[in-house]
A and B are shown apart, each in its own frame.
Chain A
Amino acid sequence: MSTTTADVEAYAARVRAALADLAATDREDLLADLEDHLAEVAEESDEPLETRLGEPGAYAAELRAAAGLPAAVTAAPRRENPFRRAGSGTLDFLPELLPAWWVARGLLLAWAIARPLSGNGGVLLLALLLVPASVVLGRRTRRDPGWRWAGYAASAASVLLVVLVAGVTTVSVEGGTSAVSPEPAQDQPAGLDSVSNLYPYDKDGRPLTGVQLYDQDGNPVELQVDTNTDGAVLTRIPRRTTGGDIVRNVYPQQQVASTTDVDGSTRQREVTPPPVHPPTISAG
């Protein structure tokens, strides 16, 4: 006999599935007769059960109709929209925005990964890879519930990484700047905040005069500090070019330090070079 017990059981199982919405007693009654029937049919002929009896779904429909039971509910219930449970009609559109989140998720991940490493160009390249991947993942989670947790993980990872990278970047910027002067002079490179005069020496340790200094951008180096470390007020005696223009970047500057005593009298003295003994610098 070519119709095996397995075939009978398989057919019966499918009929049972089609009757799943019925009350248990009704269903069991119908199924009890079914198994007898299938056994008889299987014994009588070698033809497959479906050929002899039709599709299990059709058999189940005919059976329940003849038995006076209601027809099966047709469509499987839609996967429940989680936002619908909230009860608010205005939130119903949120699932439609999901694809936009998939795109955003891919962009966020690309930014978080590539920005610290290779800047905006790297972000763009990585986004070309991660955005489609994120969309594919999103579509797959819709079709196959098993992938939902992968989707949640990807979303969580993208948010966490962005927060992490943004946080680290901010901290490093804040840690680098000195807390001393809230408004450092725009043209001064960092480090001249406490410098009131500069004393250049040549490679043999001999003091130089009339040295004109410029910074890396070509701006003349002009010192802004008006008090020396003793607290005395400094007055700068400016140098002039041969044309008569004042220049403020010629070093060492000639300066006068004024100190006001408690009784109100003022003392002035010329600022002298510090006692340094520069070494001889080797050539090259």
Chain B
Amino acid sequence: MDTTQLLKGVLDLAVLAVLDDKDGYGYDVVRRLREAGLEGVGDASVYGTLRRLFQAGALTSYVVPSDSGPHRKYYGLNDAGRAQLARSATGWRSFAGAVDSIVKEVA
């Protein structure tokens, strides 16, 4: 099944959840999403989502300087972000549960 459409609906939730686990920089978040099984997620989509969530006030951001590598911009959740995550997670669970029960009979 083409997961692109599904992803668009839940990318905010997935990004918030990843950041709730641990703060991360852009490419780090992409990698973690893919490792969790969302292989079709596009790099640009993650970066765009991070920016939008930040603009919406759900994320904090800070730069970690590095001597050996590039300076990286890290994102993390703030209180508003955590609240949004909780709401979205609840909404997702009930939605996924409903879909599950509908397709339960399918082999």
Contact = CB atoms under 8 A, between A and B. Distances in A.
A39 B69 CA distance: 10
Contact of B52 (A53, A54, A68): A68
B27 A63 contact: no
A37 B27 contact: yes
A54 B44 CA distance: 10
Interface of B: 11, 25-27, 42-52, 55, 70, 72-73
Contact of B51 (A36, A53, A54, A67): A67
A33 B55 CA distance: 14
Contacts of A63: 44-45, 47-48
A62 interface: yes
A44 to B, nearest CB: 8
Contacts of B26: 33, 36-37, 40
A62 B42 CA distance: 8
A66 B46 contact: yes
A64 B27 contact: no
Interface of A is mostly: helix
A66 B73 contact: no
Contact of A66 (B25, B48, B70, B72): B48
Contacts of A37: 26-27, 43, 47
Contacts of A67: 47-49, 51-52, 55
Given A36-B73, A37-B43, A39-B70, A66 B52 contact: yes
A103 interface: no
**Interface magnitude class on chain A:** 20 to 34
A66 B27 contact: no
A41 B26 CA distance: 11
Contacts of B52: 66-68
B48 A65 contact: yes
Given A60-B44, A62-B48, A63-B48, 11 more contacts: A30-B48, A36-B72, A40-B26, A40-B27, A54-B42, A59-B44, A62-B42, A65-B48, A66-B48, A66-B51, A68-B55
A40 B11 CA distance: 21
A27 to B, nearest CB: 11
A123 B99 CA distance: 84
B51 A30 contact: yes
Interface of A: 29-30, 32-34, 36-37, 39-41, 53-54, 59-60, 62-68
25 contacts: A29-B51, A30-B48, A30-B51, A33-B26, A33-B47, A33-B50, A36-B25, A36-B26, A36-B72, A37-B26, A37-B47, A39-B70, A40-B26, A41-B27, A54-B42, A59-B44, A62-B42, A63-B48, A64-B48, A65-B45, A66-B47, A66-B49, A67-B48, A67-B55, A68-B52
Contacts of A30: 47-48, 51
What 4 A-B pairs are tightest by C-beta distance, nearest first?
A66-B48, A62-B44, A67-B48, A40-B27
Contacts of B43: 37, 41, 53, 59
Contacts of B70: 36, 39-40
A263 B49 CA distance: 125
Contacts of A60: 44
Contact of A33 (B11, B42, B45, B73): B73
Nearest to A29: B51
Q: Give the residue among A30, A37, A53 with the most B Cβ atoms within 10 A.
A: A37
